[in-house]
A and B are shown apart, each in its own frame.
Chain A
Amino acid sequence: MSEITDDVLVSIRNLRIRFDVRDGIVNAVDGANFTIRRGKTLGVIGESGCGKSMTAKAIMNMVPKPGVMTGEVTLYKRHVENGSQVVEEIRIDQLDKDGEEIRNIRGGVITMIFQEPMSSLTPVFTAGLHIMEAVKLHRFLPIESIGDTMTRNIQKKREVSPEEAREIAIDMLQKVGLPNAAQRVDSYPHQLSGGQRQRVMIAIALSTHPELLIADEPTTALDVSIEAQILDLMRELQETVDMAILFITHNMGVIAEMADEMVVMYMGKEVEEGSVVDIFENPKHPYTRLLLASIPEIGEKKRELATIKGMTPSPFNLPTGCVFHPRCPDFMPGKCDVVKPLLATVAKNQNARCLMYDPCWPNTAEAQAVKAKA
């Protein structure tokens, strides 16, 4: 899944994000690799604290201080030059964090729905102002189509007027299901419920028609019927403007419904990746299997939910070998606590980072040593 083909929008290679804290170094992201494809949805799941939000922030070059990011984040941006379409390769990680270029990308080409709506809305701005600001900076309306149907994306565009911006704001708030949007457009964040704030965030992120929407737990505060409506809205926009979505969630139902491909993360790395159908029906990594088993299903009454034994290891004292080994039901002594597993192909278009599937393992020096001992 790593070749750079025409449909790749963002490629993340060997991403690492570290924090120096008082007790040592936290590797919040520890060598992650992702590929986001145009017009597709990539779902990301994984234990709380495994680095999902940090990865998302890295794509916008917004890793908070004192975090240090290394690795490559490349955006393949399409645009029109002399009437024909070209793809420009932009190394996001090398851009100045406060520079003009990244600011044009953020909020325009790539938008993000943050996990905690209250901390990302400005308390003194109304819901409408937030959207209008974004739209004025980043949304362009077509003047005339200059391509044929094959290249319908090639259009001449102009900026929106303040009146149009307000109209777009009200329209977006309506689309995310805010009752009485024409009046609610003037509400301040503290006057809105948790889910309404989250929907304002969603409206901001969608209002500029981004090429990539990063949705970090976008529906956690929403009830199921509004959630369904919002997911529909995202899919609709995905079709009309060919938007890609990076969808971070812990809700397996939502992943199943939205994503084409998915990545399972554990301790800053992907441990399994593949199509959603394959992973749900045939999970290979022990961690993925356990995750899928701990979902409470509606209609069943279980007293004790299945959990994964133990907790995530201390970042200052990582287990040797496979970082999952102290919690793994398939732990193989002398092997899993010695060798770091690599991502191995386990089925067509499905990879897992687990020694059970690593074809190289029998040939490694460690394996020979274990065999010799036995």
Chain B
Amino acid sequence: MADNGMVKDKDILLEVKGLKKYFPITGGMMRKVVGYVKAVDDVNFFVREGETLGLVGESGCGKTTAGRAVLRLYEPTDGEVRFKSRALSKSGKPEWVSLRELNKEQLKTVYQDISMIFQDPIGSLNPRMTVYDIITEPLLIHNKIGPSTEEHVIQLLQRVGLRPEHIRRYPHEFSGGQRQRIGIARSLALNPQLIICDEPVSALDVSVQAQTLNLLNDLKEDFNLAYIFVAHDLSVVQHISDRVAVMYVGRIAEMAESIDLYSHPLHPYTEALMSSVPRPNPRLKKQRIIMEGDVADPGNPPPGCLFHPRCRYVQDRCKTEVPELREIKPDHYAACHFAGELDLKGVEMG
């Protein structure tokens, strides 16, 4: 990205620059590499201490891959990830580290500071482990099991709305939403500084969802926690996030303070996204605007602006020239040639 001075801020906890993750596409009898899925392609963002950054965007646009690449659960193809780590510092004061340069042992240590809530609750919970084993696994890895561990686990369970007696049960004995909460409890076990939450409330009913969102907000306040909050429910994201980043086909299309982004979007894709939110009102049936055209294929992206085949405001220039992510207004970034010049409609804020 152009040097826009994103990181002058001293409160920054995580900074991601030019992050890329390509997956090979194999074809033919010999399974030769015939191309790459550019799942994450030059992604730039940052997270401040104690802040929630919402990450939204179409299914398959690279949100999970970006989260995993930050943590090196997928080895990035390129890019830089800098993080202010507490666990790796010897002085006790948080120190900047470059995650891509850490060895296995150091990376393990950093995982005390950053944890992840995985998207697929059943796929990420080991069916042969009890809830106790699942939640204490991170503690075990870091030699932090003690006499008060069971108590700690029970407290975590209660905070996420599960019961003490659930501690000896196995994942298959729970409903989808209950499993999601086990994952949340696990991510909290080591008192991290940053949690990458991948669709953490998607399987929860509205009342438990509200409880969980309130819980995440309380924890944030109590422990100055930061979150990267991946979700597709835009009202949930607006509710929980301080800032929001919108991704489109492996890139950040827009990033801004949450109310600013919702009420005054600067990228046509964000505008389109906002108009397709389902409203809880049965009399408004079928009034959603469906975006024209197909989602771009990250294996074969269009030239120029990735959104141009679907954009209402497309100009000739968009078909050849890739728009950079630029700071249009203070703390409001957009990757559109005409950002700031278009009259886009946001959500009316009550």
User: Hey, which bits of chain A sit against chain B, CB under 8 A?
Assistant: 19, 21-23, 45-49, 52-53, 64, 115-119, 177, 179-180, 183, 191-196, 198-199, 217, 220-229, 232, 250-257, 259, 276-277, 280, 290-292, 294-308, 311, 314, 316
Contact = CB atoms under 8 A, between A and B. Distances in A.
B139 interface: no
A304 B213 CA distance: 9
Given A296-B213, A307-B207, A302 B239 contact: yes
Interface in B263-294: 272-274, 276-286, 288, 290-291, 294
B205 interface: yes
A47 to B, nearest CB: 5
Contacts of B286: 257
A28 B53 CA distance: 37
B165 interface: yes
A310 to B, nearest CB: 10
A337 to B, nearest CB: 21
A257 B278 contact: yes
B57 interface: yes
A294 B210 contact: yes
Interface residues of B, number: 80
Contacts of A228: 276, 278, 288, 290
A49 B123 contact: no
Tell which of B122, B178, B238, B282 has the most Cβ of chain A within 10 Å. B282
A23 B177 contact: no
Given A217-B176, A223-B56, A296 B236 contact: yes
13 contacts: A49-B175, A116-B176, A117-B120, A179-B296, A183-B299, A222-B232, A223-B61, A224-B278, A225-B273, A226-B59, A228-B278, A257-B278, A314-B163
A156 to B, nearest CB: 35
A126 to B, nearest CB: 13
A225 B350 contact: no
Interface of B: 23, 25, 56-61, 64-65, 119-123, 161, 163, 165, 168-169, 172-178, 181, 198-199, 202-211, 213-214, 217, 232-236, 238-239, 259, 262, 272-274, 276-286, 288, 290-291, 294-300, 347-350
A118 B64 contact: no
Contact of A299 (B203, B280, B348): B348
A274 B273 CA distance: 32
Contacts of B208: 47-48
